[in-house]
Amino acid sequence: MGRAVTGASSRIPSRAWWIAFAGAGGLLGVFAVTLAWLLINGVGIWHNNNPVVWALDIVAYDWWIGIACGALLTSAILRLTGASWRSGIDRIAETTAILAAASAALYPIIHLGRPWLFYWTLPYPNTLALWPQFRSPLVWDAIDIISFLGVCLGLWYVGLLPDFATLRDRAFEAALAEADERGRTRRLTLMKAQTYGILALGWRGASTHWERWLMATRTLSALALVLVVSLQTGASVMLAGSVLPGWHDTLLPVSFLAASLLSGVGVTAALTVLVRRALHLDALITERHIALMAHLMLGLGLASAYCYATEIFSGLLHGDAYDRAVLVRRLSGSHAWAFWIIVVFALLPVHLFWFAAFRRSGRVVALVGLAAAIGSFGDHFMLLIVTLSHDFLPSSAHPYSMGVWGLATLAGTIGLFLALLLLALRTLPMVSIAETRRVAESHRDGRPRGERAPVPAESAQARLWGVSAEFDDAGALAAAAGALKERDFGARIETYGPVPMRRVAESLGRPAGILPLLALGAALAGGLAFMGLCLYASGVDYVFDVGGRPRFSWPAFLVPSVSFGTLCGGLTALLALLVQNRLPRLNHPAFAIPGFTRASEDRFFLAFEAAGPRFNPARIEQALARLPQGRPLTIRRVPL
């Protein structure tokens, strides 16, 4: 399984990849020209006007954030529920979330007009002793984006740690083979092995490593779930708390969340089909994965349709004249195309998935997923543009039309997303190797692999680090560890393998630690600290009241406080994982175990590390060779 994933990128047709990358590069070129023109002329090139001060820039920002939130929420829910079929989807969903968030993060920066001064939005007192306006959504966006990228990157990187170790070992094997064949190793091959080695941080696959890894991924997934719900509902509550017709609706947070989930799942489904076809991973991303994504889109499409129908009937039945006027403009005004894009692209196509034939068709699932993303763009355009262009007074109405530079900016961010995605396809495993192996380990064929008899130690006279035994499955390793853990060999027992080994960890009696409690404490402390900072800055040190709000209006600071709290919790979870596992440690004596590179693929190792004068390697070898159950394939002495 691991070989199938690690070798998948080499199966991408080079010509097709370069053509696609050239197209993405062309869009990036358009983006560069657009940014240059924007810096010369200002953000007015997007056709922003009064009252439509939020135009295509904020529409595109919300659209990208919705995709990122939907994709991250998909991965988080799959990890928290422990769905066995998530191995083909979670990595793609997390990558989608990161790339979409990176595309979204550009908009608040370039919207400033002077993007090189973006740090002015960060919460620090500047040289004029002024604080940022914490009631401003611009500050919220800065905190939300930084928090989202921090938590999402943390979850993505923690999930990649075992896979980086696999890539490190494969690159190391390739370097050795190249040295044997050619007499020397090419610099590129050696650099590849070194790069993956640094990224793996010395991951060895110890049983305690795996237990803490599982705990860290679940903790980060829980934090991601809180962050996504807070970010999406927080932005919509901000709109719903206004007096503008079309926004003043308590259903808006639910509508926001349902639409973003639909777009995020849709893009994730489309990319899943793309990865399956491009990397020839039909055995890992099966029709079942495609069908389950179709089911998700059908359920979310029904939820979105319910929200739209409820909003329409609510406006018609008990809305005031202004709400009904906004509803009429949405259905038949100059921008009515946005509403009908929602209907045609987001709400209707998902009903194809009532039929099993369409759910099993990768092409249909991909097209419906992309259509859902297009419909989501129409939703954000309708919600923002139609509402802002006409509020209560006819004298304040002003028409809005999309300009070429706004569309070019959107196309440029799509080019950035595609370019980064294509680079990821060529360099990273887009399907989790560790999760795939977990599934494969639970469906082993039972056939023995490798030699069965212990072999003599090659280093009988050398100073020893310990004694290792090699096994072909986790069950044999657990039996051996359970039988020998109570015997006094003057050694510390450690186990290594390519997948989590719950039975081994339980038999050794080593708890995974208090990582979730540390993350929870850091999240609460970070959120309360940021809330205190906002209250102090806005209510005591720099009183700048806008709109007659209360001096200590804590609800206005709740969204960035929750975002910052989840960021603190995510960073603490990542730091606790590394500290408890004593990582990074790029060199470890366990790497000297003969054949240890297979510990990241299909072999399990039991190591007795010398821990005092009572260490007796001959006694350990005899005990391993006489095991009634879980007899090792090989027994080796490991030099220091």
Q: Which residues pair with 468 in a beta bridge?
A: 607, 636
Give 467-508 pLDDT, tens digit per residue: 999 998 888 999 999 888 888 888 999 999 998 888 888 888
The confidence score (pLDDT) of residue 408 equals 95
Residue pair 538/544 in contact (Cβ under 8 Å)? The answer is: yes
Q: How far apart are CA 558 and CA 537, in angstroms?
A: 15
Q: Give the residue among 59, 141, 157 at the shortest CA–CA distance from 108.
A: 141
Give 551-599 pLDDT, tens digit per residue: 788 888 888 999 999 999 999 999 999 999 999 998 889 999 999 999 9
The confidence score (pLDDT) of residue 577 equals 94
The confidence score (pLDDT) of residue 195 equals 92
The confidence score (pLDDT) of residue 446 equals 44
For 492, list phi and psi in degrees, rounded to 5.
-100, 130
By the 10 Å C-beta count (0-12 exposed, 13-18 middle, 19+ buried), 204 is classed as buried
Region of 390 on the Ramachandran plot (φ > 0 left; ψ -120 to 50 alpha; else beta): beta
Q: How far apart are CA 572 and CA 220, in angstroms?
A: 10
Q: How far is CA 329 from the centre of its chain?
A: 38
For 612, list phi and psi in degrees, rounded to 5.
155, 180
- Among 150-164, 177-191, 515-529, where is mean pLDDT lowest? 177-191
The confidence score (pLDDT) of residue 441 equals 59
The confidence score (pLDDT) of residue 12 equals 64
The confidence score (pLDDT) of residue 445 equals 46
- Among 131-135, 163-167, 237-241, where is mean pLDDT lowest? 237-241
Residue, of 203 and 3, whose pLDDT is higher: 203
The confidence score (pLDDT) of residue 453 equals 42
Give 270-306 pLDDT, tens digit per residue: 999 998 888 888 878 888 889 999 999 999 999 999 9
Count Cα neighbours of 124 within 13 Å in the Cβ-side half-sphere.
6
Residue, of 133 and 353, whose pLDDT is higher: 353
Helix 56-81 to helix 207-240 angle, to the nearest 10 degrees? Answer: 140
Give 196-235 pLDDT, tens digit per residue: 999 999 999 999 899 999 999 999 999 999 999 888 887 7
Indicate the pLDDT class of residue 450, thresholds 50, 70 and 90: very low
Percent of the chain with pLDDT over 70: 92
Residue, of 581 and 247, whose pLDDT is higher: 581
| 46 pLDDT higher than 80 | yes
The confidence score (pLDDT) of residue 53 equals 81
The confidence score (pLDDT) of residue 454 equals 45
The confidence score (pLDDT) of residue 459 equals 47
| 404 pLDDT higher than 50 | yes
Indicate the pLDDT class of residue 126, thresholds 50, 70 and 90: low
3-state helix, strand, coil in the chain (%, to 5): 70, 5, 25
Mean pLDDT of 5-14: 60
Q: Which helix (H) or strand (E) holds 3?
A: helix 2-6
The confidence score (pLDDT) of residue 6 equals 58
Percent of the chain with pLDDT over 90: 46
Average pLDDT, rounded, for the chain: 87
The confidence score (pLDDT) of residue 449 equals 43
How many H helices and E strands in the chain?
A: 21, 4
- Helix/strand/coil for 244: coil
Encoding tokens for residue 43?
A: 């953000």
| 456 pLDDT higher than 50 | no
The confidence score (pLDDT) of residue 546 equals 65
By the 10 Å C-beta count (0-12 exposed, 13-18 middle, 19+ buried), 52 is classed as buried
Indicate the pLDDT class of residue 457, thresholds 50, 70 and 90: very low
Q: Give the residue among 631, 555, 280 at the shortest CA–CA distance from 431.
A: 280
Encoding tokens for residue 21?
A: 């990358």
The confidence score (pLDDT) of residue 239 equals 78
| 399 pLDDT higher than 70 | yes
| 7 pLDDT higher than 80 | no
Q: How far apart are CA 121 and CA 37, in angstroms?
A: 23
Give 320-339 pLDDT, tens digit per residue: 888 888 888 999 988 899 99
Residue, of 376 and 51, whose pLDDT is higher: 376
